[in-house]
Amino acid sequence: MTRIRRDWVGKTSAGAVLGFSLALALAGLFAWLSPGGLATPNKFQLVMWLVAPIWLTTPRFCFLFYSGIRAWLWLGAANLLAYAGLFACRLLLR
C-alpha cells in the first residue's frame, strides 16, 4: 500500500499560485526580450498563449521538492528573480 505524503497540499498550492505568477512574469520577459520588443504586431496573442504551458509545467515539478515549504521558497525566489528582470526590462528598454 502506498503512503500519501502530508505535504501535497503545500506543493500543489505553491505550484498553482506561484506557478501562475511565474508564468506571467516569464511571458512578460519573452515579450520584452524577443526580437522587436513590444512594438511587434500580433505578439500579444503569442504571449497570452505562452502563459498556459508554463503554468501547467510548474505544478508538475513541484512534487519533486522535498516539502511544501521548499516548494514555496524556491518558487518564491524564482518569482522574485523573474519580476526583477521584468521591471529591469521596463526601465532599461523603454
Give residue-wise pLDDT tens across range 46-85: 889 999 999 999 988 988 999 999 999 999 999 999 999 9
Distance CA 81, CA 40 (A): 25
- DSSP code of 40? S
Contacts of 70 (CB under 8 A, 6+ apart): none
pLDDT range class, residue 42, cuts 50, 70, 90: confident
Mean pLDDT of 7-22: 93
pLDDT at 1 over 70: no
* Per-residue pLDDT, 22: 96
Q: How confident is the prediction for the chain on average, in pLDDT?
A: 90
User: Of 23, 3, 5, whose CA–CA distance to 64 is shortest?
Assistant: 5
Left if phi > 0, otherwise alpha if psi is -120 to 50, otherwise beta: which for 5? beta
